[in-house]
Structure 1
Amino acid sequence: MFDTAHLHPMIVHFPIALLIIGFLFDVLSLFVKKDFFSNAGFYLLILGTVGVIAAYFSGDYAGDGITETGTLKQALEIHEEAAKLTLWIVITAAVFRIFLVSLKKYHKIYKGIFLILFLFGVLSIFRTGFYGGQLVYKHAAGVQLNLGFDAQSNGNTEYENNAIEKDDD
């Protein structure tokens, strides 16, 4: 059966990619005077913001299933705080960009202020991803180890049990 706690690791990579590429397109639009890069950066920011919201809430839900003790509790709290900061920075950047575009003020100093805010959002994404990686690879949060054994296998792998069953026939 599908465990909904697995949604977070499936969702989280989309906003990471969308926001990083969106930021790079916006920076590229400073040097290449084509509307394509600025427009692409805008749409990637919007899609990435929706992804950040989905990743935040799916992570909050996934975290509910983890028993928090000791260093795992600390690591989970650090990741949660980093995710919350990322959520607010990215939402603020998206709202600011929408505001600037709608007022036709997305140029000069306002574009620079936005890009600095967007940069903070991307750096915050990196930080949150780092702490998420620590949860999985250092603390094994959410990892379910089976290694091919089950409770009735007498220490044999599934392959070995199948071979034993064939010999019994």
Structure 2
Amino acid sequence: MKSNRILCSLLLLFSFSSVNTAIAVNKSIAPSTKAGIKAEIAVNSNLPASPAPVQDEDVAADFNEFPNLHPLVVHFPVVLLIFAAVLQLLQLFRLNRTLDWVILLLIGSGFIAAYIAANFVHPHTEGLTETAKKVLEHHDTYATWVLWSSATGAVLKLVSLFGLKQNRKFEIGVSLVILLSAYAVSQAGHYGSQLVYIEGVGPQVDFLGNEDQGGHQANEGHSH
């Protein structure tokens, strides 16, 4: 019985001490801090409710909604040609006929994708800055190298399949050509990304002309 009384007394004392501590802390808060807290609460109370999450079908654009399909096509030659170069280097040590077919498929597909990106889905530019024009010139130069080197690499792979079979010296020459295509496509991609993310060409249709105009302005004469 005595122990119960002592326990109740301790609980009452602890509760009383907690209340006093809370009151003391509340008094110690500076008025400016209290005002800031009240102001923050007032601002937060005026914030609009969080929007409902957007469903996937609401944000997926159709192909006809893009101003140009160049960004959707141009990534294929980048991947295909670089992958072909890696496998061609491996082929120097393996000399495997099946691997030759895989490389031919990659380099040939890379050439087709690059040709489509350069000739069928390239955007028409207008109103470019002088810096953007120079960047675009470099981009177009490397894009031309991509077409010629990848086409040459595909022809050489046909020769290695049906002519000079498993000839390591010949494969070294093929490797140099395919490596050139991989380097050219990486540089074309570099300047293309510079046009988009540094020079601001393309996003939200900035600096892009009408595809139906059928060409660039006479004073520029470049394509991206």
TM-score by length of 2: 0.57
CA displacement at 1:11 relative to structure 2? 0.4
Query: Which one of the candidate residues 161, 182, 203 is aligned to 1:122?
Result: 182
**Aligned partners of 1:4, 1:58: CA distance in 2, in Å?**
15
Query: Which one of the candidate residues 187, 192, 195 is aligned to 1:135?
Result: 195
- Unmatched segments (≥5 aa) in structure 1: 147-169
Query: Which one of the candidate residues 71, 92, 95 is aligned to 1:30?
Result: 92
Query: Which one of the candidate residues 158, 161, 170 is aligned to 1:98?
Result: 158
- Does the C-alpha gap of structure 1 residues 8 and 131 become closer, same or farther in structure 2, counting only changes over 3 Å? same
SS of alignment partner, residue 134 of structure 2: helix
- Does the C-alpha gap of structure 1 residues 106 and 49 become closer, same or farther in structure 2, counting only changes over 3 Å? farther
Query: Which one of the candidate residues 108, 116, 133 is aligned to 1:46?
Result: 108
Number of residue pairs matched? Answer: 144
CA displacement at 1:129 relative to structure 2? 0.7
Q: Deviations over 1:38-93 (max 9, x none)?
A: 3211211111111111122146x31x243333212111122111211221121122
Identity level (%): 27
Q: Deviations over 1:5-43 (max 9, x none)?
A: 521100011111111112212222233454332321121
TM-score by length of 1: 0.74
AA of the residue aligned to 1:47: S
Instruction: Quote the residue 1:56 is aligned against.
Output: 118
SS of alignment partner, residue 69 of structure 2: helix
**Aligned partners of 1:131, 1:33: CA distance in 2, in Å?**
35
| Cα pair 1:45 1:94 within 8 Å, conserved | yes
- Does the C-alpha gap of structure 1 residues 97 and 145 become closer, same or farther in structure 2, counting only changes over 3 Å? closer
**More divergent stretch after superposition (130-139 vs 75-84):** 75-84
- Does the C-alpha gap of structure 1 residues 79 and 3 become closer, same or farther in structure 2, counting only changes over 3 Å? farther
| Cα pair 2:83 2:106 within 8 Å, conserved | yes
Q: Return structure 1 stretches of 4+ with deviation > 4 angstroms.
A: none
- Unmatched segments (≥5 aa) in structure 2: 1-61, 207-224
SS of alignment partner, residue 203 of structure 2: coil
**Aligned partners of 2:128, 2:65: CA distance in 1, in Å?**
19
AA of the residue aligned to 1:100: S
| Cα pair 1:7 1:58 within 8 Å, conserved | no
**Counterpart check, 1:67 vs 2:127:** yes
Q: Deviations over 1:83-119 (max 9, x none)?
A: 1122112112222222332324452211110101111
- Does the C-alpha gap of structure 1 residues 134 and 94 become closer, same or farther in structure 2, counting only changes over 3 Å? same
AA of the residue aligned to 2:68: H
| Cα pair 2:164 2:170 within 8 Å, conserved | no
- Does the C-alpha gap of structure 1 residues 37 and 143 become closer, same or farther in structure 2, counting only changes over 3 Å? same
- Does the C-alpha gap of structure 1 residues 33 and 84 become closer, same or farther in structure 2, counting only changes over 3 Å? closer
- Does the C-alpha gap of structure 1 residues 121 and 6 become closer, same or farther in structure 2, counting only changes over 3 Å? same
**Counterpart check, 1:110 vs 2:188:** no
CA RMSD of aligned residues (A): 2.4
